[in-house]
Structure 1
Amino acid sequence: MSTYETAKDQYIQVKAVNYAYRSFGATNGIPLVLNIHFRGSLDHWDPNFINPIAATRPIILIDNSGVGRSSGEIPASYAGWAQNIVDVIDALNIKQVDVFGFSMGGFVAQLIALNAPHLVRKLILAGTGPSAGPGVQNGDPEFLEVLAGATTEEEHHDGFLRTFYSPSEKKQAVGELWWKRMTSARPNRADYVGPEGTQRQIAAAVKWLGGEFREDGSYDRLDQIKIPVFIANGSNDLLIPTENSWVLWKRLVNSEAHLHIFPDSGHGFLNEYADMFSKQIIAFLDA
């Protein structure tokens, strides 16, 4: 069985874009498609989180257009992000998937479930929230700026540890362990999304969080999701406030929605609690 560390890069051309993807893990079962955070690519997952899940089912990672090893341009809206993922899944001739979205990837995951309901069996939303609407809180822009402005490896390191983990010495040490795992898992890693692509990602986030383009969002449509959903977050998320996970859960009125908040943790809870969270995901998907 291939793992996150050993999975080979593969490519598929869809609508003139050459998409990079990796397929690994168990050979039987419904694949789980994972969507990454702001500026991230195929090379920015924690093996301690992803490999236990891969041992139980196929895993598919996809670089969206303009991200990592994929050609093309970064979409200007999350509806465009979601459509790209659906197009790749269709091109791979996969009829049904489970979908995971972390942070910005959670925005994408919601729209995959809403815009391609025939494709998605179960949905997992981690460290994310709905688009603009009553009760939704925007994070402090200072923390987004820390991640958006990083250019060197040291700046990325400092930015992610500051925004993903609690500031205590103990939690920062946990963050250091995650950083070492993540950055050493694979050779020849792709860099984070560059300055131009980052600005396009920010423009999509402004549309999502600003409320001006509500028809491109999820808040007003969440009652259309009727599949099981698992929502999780840290207790003090600085980037996408934890309260938004609660709003998301309450808006999923027609779904069997579960909500779990991990204690004394922030946006990086899925890496900090990798063992526990991966087990919860397996139990949710197997139920």
Structure 2
Amino acid sequence: MTELDTTLETAPTRYIESRTIRFAYRRLGPAPGTPLVLLQHFSGNIDAWDPAVVNALAADRPVIAFDNAGVGRSSGQTPDNVEAMARDAVDFINALGLSEVDLLGFSLGGCVAQQIASEYGRLVRKLILVGTAPKGGEEHLLAVLQQAFSQTDVPDPRLPLFFTASDASQSSGLAFLKRTKVRKDDRDTDNGNAVTDPQAKALISWCATSDPDHGILRAIRQPVLVVSGSHDTMLPADNAYAMFKQLSNAQLALYPDSGHGALFQHHALFVNQVRAFLDARAMAA
């Protein structure tokens, strides 16, 4: 098995054209295997992923991090609804010529992953949903953002956004921030309100739209790993349990003393669980 000699910090940013969008992406890991496609959180781009997570997952499988429409160095306009974001992501996957992928969706990316798995089921083999919410779920996006950005004494708003106030969680948060800043050259771009405004509308609308029959979740027949932090203030852990109950073939993992960025705080545990989940033979739902 030939591995690509790259990490998230060193991999070149590549580009591929879909029908209407030029997508920026980085591909890591060996060529063989089912690719794991990463769907990023609200406001995040490729360089907002944690190298400790991405590099470890890419040790034994192809991993693809990309900017969806209008984000980072991808062209186009960022949609203000999850359904359009899902269509754009599927266009990207199709442009790469991939017939089957695994999806890891974090936060807003988890909403997009649910939409893809329910609407384009044959494209998705397995699904990992982290710090996210079902349609009609509970969100506190604007309140949490306001509180985080009001803390002018912190070095980065992601510390209060993603981590709890405990010393252990804050220490993990500082280590995470350090890892995300290792790459110095060819870093992704922050497109500001042109991304965050429509993304906020998409996430809030997704949670404000009731799905009384759980149609999205019940349409997902693939195996799913649901992960949440115990003290996620943006998209509370109750969402994870609600999804777990409605999904036909799901596992649930709740991480202690952790917030929205539980996968970054407990990165070793998260990677081990994801590897075991992706490598396990799928059981019939």
Same fold (TM over 0.5): yes
Change (3 A) 1:157 1:123: farther
User: Which residue is equivalent to 2:183?
Assistant: 185
> Does the 8 Å contact 1:33/1:100 carry over to 2?
yes
User: Which residue is equivalent to 1:97?
Assistant: 101
User: Which residue is equivalent to 1:113?
Assistant: 117
User: Which residue is equivalent to 1:138?
Assistant: 139
Mean CA deviation greater in 262-271 or 190-199: 190-199
What do the CA deviations read for 1:236-266 (whole angstroms, capped 9, x no partner)? Answer: 10110011000011111x2x20000011111
CA distance in 1, matches of 2:153, 2:76: 27
Once the two structures are TM-superposed, the CA of residue 50 in structure 1 deviates from its matched residue by 1.1
CA distance in 1, matches of 2:147, 2:185: 26
User: Which residue is equivalent to 2:174?
Assistant: 176
The answer on 1:246 being equivalent to 2:241 is yes
> Does the 8 Å contact 1:146/1:159 carry over to 2?
no
What do the CA deviations read for 1:32-52 (whole angstroms, capped 9, x no partner)? Answer: 000111100111111111111
> Does the 8 Å contact 1:5/1:47 carry over to 2?
yes
Give unmatched runs, 5+ long, in structure 2. 281-285
> Does the 8 Å contact 1:67/1:193 carry over to 2?
yes
User: Which residue is equivalent to 1:237?
Assistant: 232
SS in 1 for 2:103: strand
Once the two structures are TM-superposed, the CA of residue 107 in structure 1 deviates from its matched residue by 0.5
Mean CA deviation greater in 166-175 or 98-107: 166-175
CA distance in 2, matches of 1:229, 1:37: 18
TM-score, normalisation: structure 2: 0.90
User: Which residue is equivalent to 1:211?
Assistant: 209
User: Which residue is equivalent to 1:257?
Assistant: 250
Change (3 A) 1:186 1:85: farther
Change (3 A) 1:8 1:268: same
Give unmatched runs, 5+ long, in structure 1. none
What do the CA deviations read for 1:110-130 (whole angstroms, capped 9, x no partner)? Answer: 111111101000000011110
The answer on 1:29 being equivalent to 2:24 is no
SS in 1 for 2:170: helix
Once the two structures are TM-superposed, the CA of residue 156 in structure 1 deviates from its matched residue by 8.9
Once the two structures are TM-superposed, the CA of residue 197 in structure 1 deviates from its matched residue by 2.2
Change (3 A) 1:96 1:156: farther
CA distance in 1, matches of 2:153, 2:22: 30
CA distance in 1, matches of 2:236, 2:158: 16
Once the two structures are TM-superposed, the CA of residue 184 in structure 1 deviates from its matched residue by 1.7
Identity %: 39
Once the two structures are TM-superposed, the CA of residue 71 in structure 1 deviates from its matched residue by 0.9
Once the two structures are TM-superposed, the CA of residue 186 in structure 1 deviates from its matched residue by 4.6
User: Which residue is equivalent to 2:77?
Assistant: 73
| Paired residues for 1:129-168 under 5 Å | 129-132=133-136, 136-139=137-140, 141-146=142-147, 157-168=155-166
CA distance in 1, matches of 2:135, 2:190: 24
SS in 2 for 1:118: helix
> Does the 8 Å contact 1:14/1:91 carry over to 2?
yes
TM-score, normalisation: structure 1: 0.90
The structure 1 segments of at least 4 consecutive aligned residues displaced by more than 4 Å after TM superposition are 154-157
Paired residues in the alignment total 275
